[in-house]
Amino acid sequence: MAQPHLFLDSSALFAGVVSSSGATRALLLLAEAGSICITISEQVVTETECAVTRKVSQALPYYRQALRATSLRIVRDPSPEEVAFHADIISHAADVPIVVATMKAQVDTLVTFNRRHFIDDASVAARSGLRIGTPGEGLAWVRERLAQETGMHTTPFNPPAGASLL
């Protein structure tokens, strides 16, 4: 079975870099360990660096280190012609290059915190053929895939009522 392969948009990448916990941070750590592959586009690199600089400038060295440590795959932005061809794939024009880059990268899942533009509009997933979810949903999917590969179960242990674990 192929290694789980995710595309992070700038909202997800930003969260993983500036937070010491959370689903995106876990995904970055899994990528650093070589358990999963994460792809981003040139636009994601630029948008995230701008956001880090603007909101938490002291984290900029950590952002740059995260890019190196996790061996993120960085793909080129789609051409203006490709963006124009897919202009109706998502209602927010600024997000068209992200959707097209994700499609071209042939990943399993697009991970984003942008519910309004990507997740709540189910037509984006339908038109693009992508699985789109939050970092928490992406992490749950990765855990499920990794468990399938190892033959382990990921369902939580729920002891019977009244049972003692001691």
Q: Residue 126's pLDDT is what? A: 94
Query: From CA 139, how far away is CA 24, in angstroms rounded?
Result: 8
Q: Residue 151's pLDDT is what? A: 74
163 falls in which pLDDT band (50, 70, 90)? very low
- Amino acid identity of residue 18, one-letter, is V
- pLDDT, tens digit, 9 for 90 and up, residues 135-154: 999 999 999 998 888 776 55
Q: Identify which of 22, 9, 30, 17 has the alpha carbon closest to the alpha carbon of residue 142.
A: 30
Instruction: Please name the residue ranges forming H helices in 3-59.
Output: 10-18, 23-32, 42-55
Q: Note the CATH number of domain 5-150.
A: 3.40.50.1010
User: Residue ranges per domain, the chain?
Assistant: 5-150
Q: Residue 62's pLDDT is what? A: 83
**Residue 95, token pair as written in the block:** 């997000």
pTM, full prediction: 0.87
